[in-house]
Structure 1
Amino acid sequence: MKNIFKYTFLVLMAVSLFSACKKEDYIDTGIHEAKFNGTIWNYLESRPDLFDTLMVALKVAKLDDVLKNDDVTFFAPPDPCILKSVWILNQQLFRSGQDSITKLEQVRPEVWRKYLSRYIFKGKYVAKDYRQIDTLNLAAFSGGVYKNIAGDDMNIGVLYNDVISKNESSGGTQVIKYAGYRQLYLNFPYTFSVPEELQDFLVPYITAPVATSDIQPTNGVLHVLQFSKHSFGFQSYSFANEAFLLGVLPK
């Protein structure tokens, strides 16, 4: 997609609407078949409604060949995730008196590669291959540490939700721990220090929930992130700041 801002306003409006959905409506990327007769890249091509912008960014980063040829697990950020972060970059450019970017190619390839690499892992891993995570009890259920293709540590785990039902006789509620639906999470460790007095109260990750998991193309596994609860790079300002400081390329 060469002109990335033609639909930005509509996308941001859609993100706002999806953010207001109920928990049981968390799947926001449609229904997907588990098996796909083609590569991960072919799958992205089959869903331009979700991944048109992402594919351009991957090409700029020269990571498209990885998704065409290597056996990898890819946590795919849909287009609205990327557009949210690019929108913040344009705000910074505007405040500094510079022109907004209108093409993803104006962000330097090394920036795209650094941040896109956070979502790609060597090997094939479906949801059942990952350990349980409970962000309220990390001592017992911490998920697991996995290195992405850039060699950086990421946390991945499956959240086992509770089943909450109303007790008709008492009028209260009954909670069955870990008996509800299971949702895969890709988590990025904080890159800034947390004060010691707050460490027991804060989750040490920026979490990215998966909307649809275990899509299995011929060369790996694809998990689609929930775009209403994720900004590209995990910290949209981090991506925007780095792209801004390195300088954007001319149109």
Structure 2
Amino acid sequence: MNNRLKLLVLPLFAVLLLLGACKKDYFIDTGTTKAEFDGTILDYLKSKPQYFDTLVKIIDYAGMTSIFQTEEITFFAPADSSLRRTYEVCNLILNQLGRPPITKYQQVKPAVWRQALSRYVFKGARSLTDYPQLDPENMAAYPGQIYNSYDDLIMNIGAIYTSGGGVPYAGYRRLTISYIPSASSARDYQTWTSASVASVDIKPTNGYVHVLMYPFHFFAFDPFKFLETAISAGIDN
């Protein structure tokens, strides 16, 4: 996305963030959970259509259904509300370009959705306790850990330890996943885009689900990059 267009869109982008902060109807904050779910990760997502109805459809459209149904994975689940937020940003930009808006997920190519979804999917089952500590103020000591996502995109995942009773790191742990834009910025926290987890350790039969917190997360982490990829692949009208 060219810099001039970003300058035009960023003020509107900031307004969307503020509006999102006021919308509590899509906010998921159930705290730390130890929920066992009798079914696969895909079954779990289907059981929560108020949060994941469109996400389930995109998983199928992207050709990833068998991954969520049969493989052992860890999934950082973005709610449908995050998808809507990304649509809003994309459509602001498309309007500036004089192009039709994205009104349905089928307008974006399956490969683009798969690339975006892959940032949230990891092989193997990992709970909160399996992730190392992350301290954004002391990355030298507590950097979290770099992981390859399902399709080998680099991400950072770590548990941020809050203070408790005035004692550093003595409070609850907050799981965070971060999108790293390039290998060269793998240790540059300022370039990352992070998302906090609201509900951790939901345990279907084939792995773990960690539900991401709304309203501040945008699906694909970077809606500008998502749109660039979608335009490059071709958006159907």
CA RMSD across the alignment: 2.3
What are the equivalent positions in structure 2 for 1:227-246 lying under 5 Å apart?
227-246=214-233
CA shift digits 1:11-40 (9 cap, x unpaired): 989733158xxxxxxx72447661000000
Q: Distance in 1 between matches of 2:97 and 2:158?
A: 40
Q: Distance in 2 between matches of 1:222 and 1:207?
A: 17
What are the equivalent positions in structure 2 for 1:175-190 lying under 5 Å apart?
175-190=166-181
- Percent identity (aligned): 36
Partner of 2:182: 191
Partner of 1:116: 117
Partner of 2:194: 207
**Please, what TM-score do these two structures have when normalized by structure 2?**
0.84
Unaligned runs of 5+ in 2: 1-15
Secondary structure of the structure 2 residue equivalent to 1:229: coil
- Per mean C-alpha deviation after superposition, the further-off stretch among 181-190 and 105-114 is 181-190
CA shift digits 1:194-229 (9 cap, x unpaired): 7xxxx6xx5342211111000000011000011222
Partner of 2:141: 140
- Per mean C-alpha deviation after superposition, the further-off stretch among 183-192 and 145-154 is 183-192
Unaligned runs of 5+ in 1: 1-10, 20-26, 165-174
Secondary structure of the structure 2 residue equivalent to 1:203: helix
Whether the 8 Å contact between 2:176 and 2:197 is mirrored in structure 1 is yes
Pairs aligned (count):
217
CA shift digits 1:64-100 (9 cap, x unpaired): 2210111100001111111111222222222222222
Structure possessing the higher radius of gyration over alpha carbons = 1
Secondary structure of the structure 1 residue equivalent to 2:122: strand
How big is the shift at 1:63?
A: 1.1
Secondary structure of the structure 2 residue equivalent to 1:228: coil
What are the equivalent positions in structure 2 for 1:145-184 lying under 5 Å apart?
145-163=146-164, 175-184=166-175
Q: Distance in 2 between matches of 1:131 and 1:215?
A: 19
How big is the shift at 1:245?
A: 3.2
1:82 paired with 2:83, answer: yes
Structure-2 change in CA distance of 1:72 and 1:192 (3 Å): closer
What are the equivalent positions in structure 2 for 1:40-79 lying under 5 Å apart?
40-79=41-80
Query: Runs of at least 4 residues of structure 1 off by over 6 A?
Result: 11-14
What are the equivalent positions in structure 2 for 1:102-113 lying under 5 Å apart?
102-113=103-114
